[in-house]
Structure 1
Amino acid sequence: MAADSIRIRRDKLARLQAGGKARTLEICSGCGGLSLGLMAAGFELSAHIEMDPEAAESYAINFRGDHALDSAWARPRDMERSTAAQLVSELGLATSAADSFDVLAAGLPCQAFARIGRSKLRSVAGEEDAFQRDPRASLYRRFLQFVEDTQPLAIIIENVPDILNFGGHNVPEEISETLEQRGYRVGYTILNAAYFGVPQVRERLFIVALANVLDETPRFPTPTHFLNLPKGYEGSRRVALKHVDHDCRFFHPIPTPDRRLTDAVGAAEALGDLPRISEHANNPSVIRKRRLTDLIPYRETSSALPAYASAMRNWPGFETTDATDGHLVRLTPRDFPIFYRMRSGDDYPMARAIAEKMFADALEAHGLSRARKDSKAWCELRASIVPPYDPDKFPNKWWKLDPRKPSRTLTAHMGKDTYSHIHYDSAQRRTVSVREAARLQSFPDGFRFAGAMNAAFRQIGNAVPPLLGLAVAQVVMAQLQQAGSRKKETKRRAA
């Protein structure tokens, strides 16, 4: 390892010891889920790189401080076409790229790594291994160049667990080996958001690397909430962990929650105080005219506000009082009666069975029980009631929230449809709103999203849950502070 790199990192540690704030560069920041956690843990959000214009605008709206919305700081950027030196120059920083940042974080694009993304790539390319040639799969190598250029004291990388088994290759192990060679102690593991107060069962892979000058071995947060993982998640873990064995030096055992902990946050606790939305069914013109930024008062409740809802209303810097925005839902009138009849936990095969029963009743009511199945009247009536998707091919396309349990994983696909998250309140007979999706992802109510409804859903689904990001960031911050205190004490004794 070059002497210059050691000197740069020691100078950064000395700066933190003197009371300086840990300056963070976040790559592929999205709208800022991880950023919220970093900021709440005490990190300074010095710069970010995000190529999606709407996500970059959301980031600027929420974190810009004294920066103008049209400033260089707020501009969208592509990590493949940007360098740390260019970024520092455009931002007008007085320091070099190597001297400007103490922490480097990234939520690298996961489409090529996630199994759902791999299937889509196969269907588009018509080739079994198309996901391995997706250029997004090699962005982690570009990220390693940013490590070289910025010489951070701490590194945080987030991705889907399937990155552990990328065509039989353990990518985090490769990243860890490379970082070790560059003077870092590295660890990686899988964390479930529900274990850290997020009302969502979301598994994510985290890599943490700490510069050797800190003399700290990476640690990961201890769960604060208990949950028995739903059926299917253990199987997904096994597939992801197939190539993680005793030879993987950097893997940390997955944290498991103590049964004595507080139960994981359920959907009703997370959403119960938000406004009831019924306009989509009885007056859809209201929804069509409503803007994402329109404020609607919270629901009045006779009981005390749940701790989670209170936290979302009172997140420092994003507090709300009487109302919040984001109350847009999709207008899908054919399916409202199905949503009403579904029970909590029902998926698409059950929804389809409900629709078939409704169709049979409608045929009887319209006197079409003996009509030919290819007749215009029969076909039109069926299309008005029964969704066209094959339940064998789309078993998880629909799902109705269980008010007592955390939600399933939110994905970027919510930008196209939200049937994966149907509201548990049958009387409202709808999918979740933008604000409800944000709540399930642990975005505070004062966080604003740029763009229209679909863009907001996509940003939310792509984001790191802020509370999960906070849990990781707090541990990293504690280790930075501990290293700084230890170095201070060593100097004091030497004097």
Structure 2
Amino acid sequence: MTANARVVAAKAARLRAGGRPRVLDLFSGCGGLSLGFEAAGCDIAAAVEFDPDAARSHGMNFHGGHARHCVARDITATAPQALTSELGLGAADAAFDVLVGGPPCQAFARVGRSKLREVAEHPEAFRHDPRARLYIEYLRYVDACAPLAVVIENVPDMLNHGGHNLAAEIGETLALRGYVVRYTLLNAAFYGVPQMRERMILVAIRTEVAEDVDLPEPTHWIDLPSGYLGSRAVALKLAQTRGVDPCVRYVAAPEPARALPRAVTAEEAIGDLPELRAQEMLAAGTLRRGARRFDVAIPWGGHNRQSPYVRLMRGWAGHEGGPSVDDHVIRYLPRDYRIFAGLKPGDQYPEAHRYALALLGEELNRLAADGQPVADGSPELAALRAAFVPPYDDGKFPNKWRKMEADAPARTLLAHLGKDGYSHIHYDDVQARPISVREAARLQSFPDGFRFSGTMNPAFRQIGNAVPPLLAKAVAAVLVPQLRGRRTGDSEMPLFAFGGRR
């Protein structure tokens, strides 16, 4: 038996004896994957994350803020053994059972199957290729840490990126290392997340441990909008149920049954949070320009409606919420609050632009009636237009704005929330504003006790980049029993139970 085989056998024996899987999260962000795997009974042993705010968030939530775990680390400059030595975890090949992460898609783009294979076999030859460097480092961790399982999350385009099925190509390099690999597309709304977020999930398990890979069954159902179905069809053009390597296969995602509870809606997810009436706050001077810090505790209001999902978010074991919320902060957008108030659910930027022009027309009529007409082409008209109408071309930016529907899950949250937030305008006309940091966290299924390092913009970016913890938990809950040598129709640890609308 080789040294690697002995390490794998020892890890498998420990888990079969009841040991908790130890997880290393690469490209961890603030910890969406980590949180899901923790909830499924795993120990989050370490993480590697380049962004300082995200690294601090991960350390705060999983390691009590210990300084060693809050350090931002560049994977290209952090060898596996150096990481485990620094964290007091011993030998790299014995420290972890599961490696998870979402490497940037650019790490694999346009490298191609033949080059990926060559990198896998002769990594030093391409160490200075920026397209392959992060991929090399990811493989270096797989080789050094000998995990029983590898889980990779990424965008659906990973299956059809520049004419390459990168998931299959990555899977083939993992198969060379002794893994059976399955990949699929999962929509977070089918797993209790109040967001229609489509993601590629790849799971690889050592062949000594399992002959196949289980995927989670949906817990909720919704008829996805046509746009999601169209994007999925494009992503799947290159997916094949059988690939070049029999150990690597695309598996169609399990379809949700209509007998399941309906998907969690935006209102069920955030309707209990204290109201922030933007126009009133602006008039009162309590909403001003400047950095949004998390230093004001807002107590729960009188409309404190608690759906089953809200109770889960407030009571998540180890990350429970408190009597108030301190990251319920929003953007300062004085021109746009009145526009938000007049939009209908589902309206996007063309509708917003037309409504803004109507508001401008009303103001011009009012001024004319008061004996203060504004001349065409005048500086006064230009200034008034700038005060009422956003400057973007409504033909070029149709998706820049969108008002959420209360009775449906939110559309996909992106890291771009860290720049403007117009993609998720609150459904409540009275509040008339973009969503807050805590509302974004709720829609991504981060519990109320989960803390984000930094100010508003970095927090939005961390949330938008994250894997929804409930989706991660669904994947982990079926993976953990397999690592213990069992194939189960039901997961060892049940998914959070909530919902019930039919």
* Structure 1 equivalent of residue 118 of structure 2: none
Letter in 1 for 2:27: C
* Structure 2 equivalent of residue 222 of structure 1: 217
Are residues 1:69 and 2:66 paired? yes
Letter in 2 for 1:455: P
* Structure 1 equivalent of residue 358 of structure 2: 357
Equivalent residue of 1:225, what SS? coil
Shift of 1:166: 1.4
Describe how 1:335-374 pairs up with structure 2 within 5 A: 335-367=336-368, 371-374=374-377
Which whole-Å CA distance do the structure 2 matches of 1:50 and 1:318 have between them?
21
Are residues 1:82 and 2:78 paired? yes
* Structure 1 equivalent of residue 380 of structure 2: 377
- For the 8 Å contact 1:185–1:212, the answer to whether it is kept is yes
1:143-184 deviation digits (Å, cap 9, x = unpaired): 122111111001111000101111101111011111111111
Q: Which stretch shows the higher mean deviation, 240-249 or 45-54?
A: 240-249
* Structure 1 equivalent of residue 432 of structure 2: 429
Which whole-Å CA distance do the structure 1 matches of 2:145 and 2:171 have between them?
17
Describe how 1:151-166 pairs up with structure 2 within 5 A: 151-166=146-161
Which whole-Å CA distance do the structure 2 matches of 1:422 and 1:49 have between them?
33
Letter in 2 for 1:362: E
Shift of 1:324: 1.9
1:444-487 deviation digits (Å, cap 9, x = unpaired): 001111101101000000100010111011111121123499xx
Which whole-Å CA distance do the structure 1 matches of 2:302 and 2:107 have between them?
44
1:345-403 deviation digits (Å, cap 9, x = unpaired): 11111111101111112122222998554210111111100001111111110001100
Describe how 1:76-225 pairs up with structure 2 within 5 A: 76-94=72-90, 96-110=91-105, 135=130, 139-225=134-220
Describe how 1:8-19 pairs up with structure 2 within 5 A: 8-19=7-18
* Structure 1 equivalent of residue 294 of structure 2: 292
Are residues 1:392 and 2:399 paired? no
So what's the TM-score if we normalise by structure 1? 0.88
Shift of 1:334: 0.6
Equivalent residue of 2:81, what SS? helix
Which whole-Å CA distance do the structure 2 matches of 1:232 and 1:483 have between them?
38
Change (3 A) 1:52 1:289: closer
- For the 8 Å contact 1:423–1:432, the answer to whether it is kept is yes
Letter in 1 for 2:235: A
* Structure 2 equivalent of residue 40 of structure 1: 39
- For the 8 Å contact 1:312–1:443, the answer to whether it is kept is yes
Q: Which runs of 5+ in 1 are unaligned?
A: 115-132, 486-495
Equivalent residue of 1:24, what SS? strand
* Structure 1 equivalent of residue 476 of structure 2: 473
Change (3 A) 1:215 1:297: same
So what's the TM-score if we normalise by structure 2? 0.87
Shift of 1:282: 2.8
RMSD of aligned residue pairs (Cα, Å): 2.3
Identity %: 49
Shift of 1:238: 1.5
Change (3 A) 1:302 1:233: closer
- For the 8 Å contact 2:417–2:461, the answer to whether it is kept is yes
Letter in 2 for 1:101: F
- For the 8 Å contact 2:404–2:425, the answer to whether it is kept is yes
Shift of 1:289: 8.4
Which whole-Å CA distance do the structure 1 matches of 2:43 and 2:87 have between them?
15
Equivalent residue of 2:448, what SS? coil
- For the 8 Å contact 1:113–1:160, the answer to whether it is kept is no
1:282-309 deviation digits (Å, cap 9, x = unpaired): 3343565863142212233476x20001
* Structure 2 equivalent of residue 125 of structure 1: none
Shift of 1:320: 1.9
Which whole-Å CA distance do the structure 2 matches of 1:138 and 1:16 have between them?
33
- For the 8 Å contact 2:107–2:135, the answer to whether it is kept is no
- For the 8 Å contact 2:210–2:485, the answer to whether it is kept is no
Change (3 A) 1:137 1:33: farther
Change (3 A) 1:269 1:135: farther
- For the 8 Å contact 2:322–2:449, the answer to whether it is kept is no
* Structure 2 equivalent of residue 311 of structure 1: 312
Change (3 A) 1:370 1:231: farther
* Structure 1 equivalent of residue 405 of structure 2: 402
1:78-106 deviation digits (Å, cap 9, x = unpaired): 11221111101211223x11111111011
Which whole-Å CA distance do the structure 2 matches of 1:196 and 1:231 have between them?
19
Equivalent residue of 1:443, what SS? coil
Change (3 A) 1:112 1:391: farther
- For the 8 Å contact 1:13–1:484, the answer to whether it is kept is no
Normalized per residue, which structure has more helix?
Answer: 1
Letter in 2 for 1:347: Q
1:206-256 deviation digits (Å, cap 9, x = unpaired): 100111111341111111111111131111112211211354351001222
Letter in 2 for 1:294: V
Equivalent residue of 2:193, what SS? coil
- For the 8 Å contact 2:35–2:469, the answer to whether it is kept is yes
Change (3 A) 1:97 1:113: closer
- For the 8 Å contact 1:113–1:162, the answer to whether it is kept is no
Which whole-Å CA distance do the structure 1 matches of 2:487 and 2:3 have between them?
20
Describe how 1:213-292 pairs up with structure 2 within 5 A: 213-248=208-243, 249-278=248-277, 280-286=281-287, 291-292=293-294
Which whole-Å CA distance do the structure 1 matches of 2:487 and 2:189 have between them?
32
* Structure 2 equivalent of residue 127 of structure 1: none
Shift of 1:20: 2.2
1:453 pairs with 453, 456, 460, which one?
Answer: 456
Equivalent residue of 2:143, what SS? helix
- For the 8 Å contact 1:112–1:134, the answer to whether it is kept is no
Shift of 1:139: 2.4
Change (3 A) 1:396 1:269: same
Change (3 A) 1:77 1:4: same
1:438 pairs with 441, 444, 466, which one?
Answer: 441
Change (3 A) 1:141 1:113: closer
Change (3 A) 1:401 1:161: same
Q: Which runs of 5+ in 2 are unaligned?
A: 110-127, 489-502
Equivalent residue of 1:427, what SS? coil
Which whole-Å CA distance do the structure 2 matches of 1:178 and 1:342 have between them?
50
- For the 8 Å contact 1:284–1:331, the answer to whether it is kept is no
Letter in 1 for 2:18: G
Letter in 2 for 1:88: T
